[in-house]
Structure 1
Amino acid sequence: MSDRQKTHAAAAALDYIEDGMTIGLGSGSTAEIFVRLLAERVQDGLSIKGVPTSEQTADLARELGVPLVDVDHVDHIAVTVDGADEVDGRFQLIKGGGGRHLREKIIAQASDLMVVIVDEGKLVDTLGKFPLPVEVDTFGFSIAAKQIFDGLRSAGVKQPDVHLRRKGDGLAPFITDGGNYILDCACEAIPDARAVDQALKAIPGVVEHGLFINLARVVIVGEDNQARVMEL
């Protein structure tokens, strides 16, 4: 059922794509469906250029024949289409379950419009049930972890639990595309996302975090038989 909802959301996002656009291509399972649907449009003659937010997305786009352009050769991104791990009623997001939130945020920030595509299960009243990823430099990451814990507490998170993300084998640390570590912060609830954003930004060693605030302008929610489009 979830894949059906994701497909409905991804298909609806195509309505925001026009010929000649440069498009940010998100990462994750729902964004992957979007890339596959976009590739079909390209095969039918749609002319676009994609800016991928991860190596995985880049590989898929190349495999499907979606034209790509290096981010450093881009001066304008019209639309970014990406998924999310959580979305609240103010279109604030938690992203980074796949560990690509740094590049995803860079591309989203540079875009005229960010379109978020999710299934119904990603909608929440309050962010935080999904662990908040914080990307950190590998040097002194344990010092950063303590400061992140303190920062979350000061921003109103009652009992944060900060853990180093590891690879599937559970032994080696997970390494991002940028060569950094990720600290996953189980918060249960984030009462003030802006306060958390400011607290984390002030910590040396924090490269980026998974809170996306004031970036999404369109959220498309895939349902069983259709997609529901919400706009700010």
Structure 2
Amino acid sequence: MTDHVTAEREAAAAAAAAMVEPGMRIGLGTGRTALAFVAALGERVAGGLSLPAAVATSRRTEDAAKAAGLAICDMMADGAPTHVDLAIDGADEVDGNLCLIKGGGASLLREKIVAHMAARFVVLADAAKRVDTLGAFPLPVEVVPFGWTATAGQIEAALGVAPVLRRTAEGVLITDNGNYVLDCPLGRIDDPAATAAALALPGVVEHGLFITEADVALIGTAGRVETLTRAK
């Protein structure tokens, strides 16, 4: 990771941390930029900012948040929160309409749940994630393991590309929800809504297109943070 990309991510994360007000319940995203936000928020809490327990979108984020001094909700428990005041997350691609591709960290399902819980959803990115058209980053689709090859075939028929089962050095990647991820190399997505609709298939749990969720994007660039706001 080059120094300038790290600096862009940290600048966006610091700008997001400055948006947090005392008493806010925060949704914490997953990925390197989201973890930069967790670190920045931890510094504010160490400095005296008082917050209720946050909602983490992955085990990795939960561990990082606890290490940074943040309390975390048990979202599997009865009485778990149903609302967050502000959710902060990264993205793999952001276009000018605040449509996103997410899921590079394999946490797209929990990220989308928390985004829909949020009164306001802010996405962070370095300058390279800003695109004119989505799709260069393969679209992640979370699927149940049962019959995943059949589901992959249906996705191929719907989208016209062969999905790739995501693997790690240890074998097939398993999400925090016990599912698989199929990455779809679309190249470009001219109509995100139509692509999302085509993925309403048996076996598909969630896809990485976030079309209407983001309210604001903070894009770290050389020397400043660019703010994109969804048109009303």
Secondary structure of the corresponding residue to residue 13 of structure 1: helix
Aligned to 1:157: none
Q: How many correspondences in the alignment?
A: 223
Give, as a single letter, the amino acid of the residue that structure 1 aligns with 2:22.
D
Contact in 2 for aligned 1:165/1:173 (Cα 8 Å)? yes
The runs of 5 or more residues in structure 2 that have no matched partner are none
Q: Is the 8 A contact 1:78 1:113 kept in 2?
A: yes
Query: How far does residue 213 in structure 1 lie from its aligned partner after superposition?
Result: 1.1
Query: Take 2:28 and 2:106, find their aligned partners in 1: how far apart are those partners?
Result: 15
In the TM superposition, residue 152 of structure 1 has moved relative to its aligned partner by 1.2
**1:22–1:79 contact (8 Å) kept in structure 2:** yes
Is the aligned partner of 1:36 residue 2:15?
no
Q: 1:16 Cα deviation (Å)?
A: 2.1
**Counterpart contact for 1:136–1:207, Cα < 8 Å:** yes
SS of equivalent residue, structure 1 residue 227: strand
Query: 1: CA distance between counterparts of 2:169 and 2:27?
Result: 28
Match of 1:45 in 2: 48
Counterpart residue number, 2:194 = 195
The residue that corresponds to 1:56 in the other structure is: 60
Match of 1:78 among 75, 85, 88: 85
Tell me the amino acid that sits aligned with residue 27 of structure 1: T
Aligned mate of 2:142, from 108, 117, 135: 135
Structure 1 unaligned spans of 5+: 154-159
Residue type of the partner of 2:205? Answer: V
Please report how far the alpha carbon of residue 126 of structure 1 lies from its aligned counterpart in structure 2 after TM superposition. 0.8
- Counterpart pick for 2:117 among 110, 114, 120: 110
CA displacement 1:40-62 (0-9 Å, x = unmatched): 00011111131000000000111
Relative to structure 1, is the Cα distance of residues 75 and 183 closer, same or farther in structure 2, using a 3 angstrom cutoff?
closer
Cα distance in 2 for residues equivalent to 1:75 and 1:31: 21
Q: Distance in 2 between matches of 1:139 and 1:161?
A: 18
Aligned 8 A contact 1:86 1:130 in 2? yes
Aligned with 2:120: secondary structure? strand
Aligned residue number for residue 69 of structure 2: 65
CA distance in 2, matches of 1:102, 1:23: 17
Taking the aligned partners of 1:100 and 1:135, their CA distance within structure 2 comes to 9
What SS does structure 2 have at the residue aligned with 1:107?
A: helix
**For the residues of structure 1 that align with 2:169 and 2:132, how far apart are their CA atoms?**
30
* Deviation of 1:76 (Å): 2.0
Provide the TM-score with structure 1 as the length reference: 0.94
RMSD of aligned alpha carbons? 1.0
Give per-residue Cα distances to partners, 1:72-129, cap 9 Å, x unaligned: 5113200100000001111000000110000000000110111000000001111100
Instruction: Check the 8 A contact 2:98/2:228 in 1, yes or no.
Output: no
SS at match of 1:108: helix
Paired AA for residue 192 in structure 2? A
Say if 2:152 and 2:162, in contact at 8 Å, map to a contact too: no
- Secondary structure (helix, strand or coil) at the match of 2:149 reads helix
